[in-house]
């Protein structure tokens, strides 16, 4: 760990709070897509698969842009890339809100996803710079709580805004918040400086130019891509599942999603602490256990219907958030440790590219299965089996790097 002066050592938690808020704001626009789905689906006459395609548009852009934006984050630093990301997300989300047609909204969400692709690499570089290995998964988990927290914000705020300014106004408001926050972040960000040493980004050219260990990154990237399919299907279709299969109103279906996102917040911190403290910095075993719990909980959702009591349903939604939506702090720490500090942005960009490609394809498939069969139970069961494949890939193919601080 860098030998920071005491003031700098304390300031790392302030920086982590700033990064976390950045994720909350960015994710509030991202999750506005699925949170508002029960309101706009009927008005726009969309199928479930088309609702999934909006989310896929967002992730398709992340697929195309993440490696490039990760490289830009390595080159230009956290402040500039985060500012660009928030401004782009804000403008394009507002454009989606006022799009006159499905193709125009699809294009706007696609461009918003390109802007969002700046945020994860930049924030991960920030955590790698400010935190050592013994705190890193915990710090990554805390900053990644910003993503489900953004979902909680969207689920709590957007439906209420709909009652006042309609779903278009609610979505546009989430975009405006992003745009303004980009300038706030740029004003507050600071890079760490070690005593009597150059800034953290001033690494030897040979280290900065070192090639990525692609073959070591591939197993975790592909396995977590399958986990992400489970995550995106859960958070995209839970409101529609609750409305169609469980008899919830559109308002309460959107509100219930906040419970899953709250579970994700607990999971992203909790799994990081488990990895750092209980397992001494080991990541692989924690990711495997997360997958096992996820399979069980998704399978439990397949057994539920209109006769299911809320006291049985709601804990499953919360724990599903803890597991399948709560894994990413551990996986991001692992990617940073495999790639090394000088190539964290590019390494994370590679993982996000693979993850986003899987989510782009996998998320609407869940909706397609429900459209074709009329059965959410079958779709949940297929999803659980898919996540089980990700567990197998991690167990057999991932070689975890040695702890080196």
The pLDDT of residue 201:
45
> Which fold is adopted by the domain 6-397?
Growth Hormone; Chain: A; (1.20.1250)
pLDDT of residue 402: 67
Residue by residue, pLDDT tens for the chain (405 residues) are 344 444 556 778 888 889 999 988 888 887 787 777 777 777 777 777 777 777 778 877 877 777 777 778 778 888 888 898 899 999 998 888 887 777 888 888 889 888 888 888 888 888 888 887 777 778 888 887 887 788 778 877 877 787 788 878 888 888 899 999 999 998 898 887 654 444 444 444 444 445 566 777 778 888 888 898 998 889 888 888 888 888 887 777 777 777 887 888 888 888 988 888 888 888 889 999 999 999 999 999 999 878 788 888 889 999 999 998 888 778 878 877 777 666 777 777 778 778 777 877 787 889 889 889 988 999 999 999 999 998 998 888 877 776 554
Q: What is the pLDDT of residue 293?
A: 95
Q: Where exactly are the structural domains of the chain?
A: 6-397
pLDDT at residue 197, as a whole number: 42
Beta-bridged to residue 199, according to DSSP, are: 193
Q: What is the DSSP string of 112-139?
A: HHHHHTTHHHHHHHHHHHH--HHHHHHH
Tokens matching residue 246: 């469980």
Four-CA torsion 214, 79, 26, 317, nearest 10 degrees: 60
- Check: CB of residue 253 under 8 Å from CB of residue 356: no
User: Alpha-carbon distance 163 to 161, whole Å?
Assistant: 5
For the packed helices 214-244 and 376-397, what is the interaxial angle rounded to 10 degrees? Answer: 160
**Quick one: CA torsion of 10, 190, 194, 334, rounded to 10 degrees?**
80
- Environment class of 11 (CB within 10 Å of its CB; exposed 0-12, middle 13-18, buried 19+): middle
The per-residue pLDDT for 383 is: 94
pLDDT of residue 292: 95
């Amino acid at each position: 760990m860098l030998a920071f002066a005491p003031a700098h050592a304390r300031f790392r938690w302030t920086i982590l709070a700033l990064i976390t808020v950045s994720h909350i704001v960015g994710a509030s626009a991202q999750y506005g897509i699925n949170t508002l789905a029960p309101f706009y689906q009927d008005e726009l006459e969309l199928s479930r698969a088309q609702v999934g395609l909006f989310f896929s548009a967002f992730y398709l852009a992340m697929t195309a842009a993440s490696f490039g934006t990760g490289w830009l984050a390595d080159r230009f630093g956290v402040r500039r890339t985060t500012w660009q990301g928030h401004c782009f997300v804000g403008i394009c989300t507002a454009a989606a809100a006022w799009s006159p047609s499905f193709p125009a909204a699809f294009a706007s969400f696609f461009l918003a996803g390109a802007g969002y692709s700046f945020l994860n690499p930049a924030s991960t570089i920030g955590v790698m710079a400010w935190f050592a290995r013994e705190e890193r998964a915990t710090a990554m988990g805390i900053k990644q709580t910003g993503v489900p927290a953004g979902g909680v914000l969207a689920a709590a705020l957007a439906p209420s805004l709909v009652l006042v300014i309609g779903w278009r106004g609610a979505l546009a408001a989430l975009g405006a918040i992003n745009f303004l926050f980009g300038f706030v972040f740029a004003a507050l960000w600071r890079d760490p400086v070690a005593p009597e040493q150059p800034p953290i980004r001033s690494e030897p050219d040979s280290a900065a130019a070192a090639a990525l260990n692609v073959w070591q990154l591939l197993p975790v990237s592909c396995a977590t891509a399958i986990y992400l399919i489970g995550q995106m299907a859960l958070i995209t279709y839970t409101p529609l599942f609750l409305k169609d299969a469980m008899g919830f109103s559109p308002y309460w279906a959107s509100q219930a999603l906040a419970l899953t996102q709250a579970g994700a917040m607990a999971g992203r911190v909790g799994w990081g602490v488990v990895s750092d403290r209980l397992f001494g910095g080991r990541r692989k075993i924690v990711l495997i256990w997360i997958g096992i719990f996820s399979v069980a909980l998704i399978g439990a959702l397949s057994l539920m219907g209109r006769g299911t009591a809320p006291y049985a349903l709601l804990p499953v939604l919360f724990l599903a958030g803890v597991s399948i939506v709560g894994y990413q702090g551990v996986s991001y720490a692992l990617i940073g440790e495999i790639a090394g500090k000088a190539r964290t942005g590019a390494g994370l960009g590679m993982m996000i590219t693979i993850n986003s490609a899987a989510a782009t394809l996998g998320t609407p498939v869940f909706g397609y299965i429900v459209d074709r069969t009329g059965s959410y139970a079958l779709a949940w069961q297929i999803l659980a089996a898919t996540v089980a494949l990700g567990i197998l890939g991690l167990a057999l193919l991932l070689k975890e790097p040695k702890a080196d601080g």
